[in-house]
Amino acid sequence: MTEHDQLIGQVLERWRVQGEAPAWDDVLARAGAGARTRQRLGSKRLYVALLVAGVVALAAPALAIVARQLLSTRSVPGTTTTTHVELGSGRSAELRLHSSGSPLGRDSAGFRFLRSGADQARSFHWTLELHGLDQVAAARITLRGRVIRLCGPCTTDGGVFLLQDGDALGLLNGRATLTVGEARHRVAPSAGGRLLRAKQPSS
């Protein structure tokens, strides 16, 4: 013990309670209880951390799917479609479609409406250009058993038609057939992008 410690002991001696032994057993017991409490708290924290890690690990695949879906789906304000039909002897026809209307999204499965429910519709502005001939008997689109008559007889022409719900998505996703005269061709799937202005019908 240093001289400094002896001086402090002498000063504090006057405050000592006579006849009382230091409660070292109680001090040691309290110290042991505190250690056990800290051990229990540490175990509880470890359990909670492992539980949270397990939940995150289980949820990660689902979160990845949702994130991938959100990132891969983009809003499409307008679509364009070009379908070329060979008519023989160097003659051909080309149909262009430009659509607008209810908001669309596009992912690996194709186009879909961003809003659920009925009354989803797209209007299709179309132009038909003939190459190597002045006129064909008729032009029409066949879709899910429905016939959309474009013109007949047809020169280089254009117009507008409206499709709702599944019909609109069927045309956008390439599930329709174009007939020009006697020639038939599958309508190409639409491409999303900036809405282009359709040519005005010829007068």
Distance between CA 26 and CA 2 in Å, rounded?
28
Residue 203 placed within a domain: no
Task: Give the residue-averaged pLDDT of 84-91.
Answer: 94
Domain boundary among 12, 40, 71: 71
92 and 61 in one domain? Answer: no
Which range marks the domain in which residue 90 is found?
A: 75-193
pLDDT band per the 50, 70, 90 thresholds, residue 116: confident
108 and 88 in one domain? Answer: yes
pLDDT for 167: 95
104 and 59 in one domain? Answer: no
Comparing 41-45, 153-157, 195-199, the range with the smallest average pLDDT is 195-199
Task: Give the residue-averaged pLDDT of 79-84.
Answer: 94
Residue 98 placed within a domain: yes
Mean pLDDT in the chain?
Answer: 76
Question: Where are the extended beta strands (E) located within the chain?
Answer: 74-76, 78-88, 91-101, 104-107, 110-113, 121-131, 139-143, 146-151, 157-164, 177-180, 183-186, 191-193
39 and 104 in one domain? Answer: no
183 and 123 in one domain? Answer: yes
Query: In DSSP terms, which residues pair with 44 in a beta bridge?
Result: none
Asked whether 81 and 189 are in contact (CB, 8 A), the reply is: yes
Residue 145 placed within a domain: yes
Q: Is 191 helix (H, G, I), strand (E, B) or coil?
A: strand
Given a cut of 50, whether residue 172 has pLDDT beyond it is: yes
87 and 53 in one domain? Answer: no
pLDDT for 115: 85
For CA atoms 3, 8, 13, 17, the dihedral sign is negative
Task: Give the residue-averaged pLDDT of 179-196.
Answer: 81
pLDDT in tens, 3-23: 655 655 565 556 555 555 555
pLDDT for 202: 43
The structure's pTM equals 0.58
Higher pLDDT, 35 or 172: 172
pLDDT for 196: 39
pLDDT for 183: 95
Task: Give the residue-averaged pLDDT of 98-107.
Answer: 91
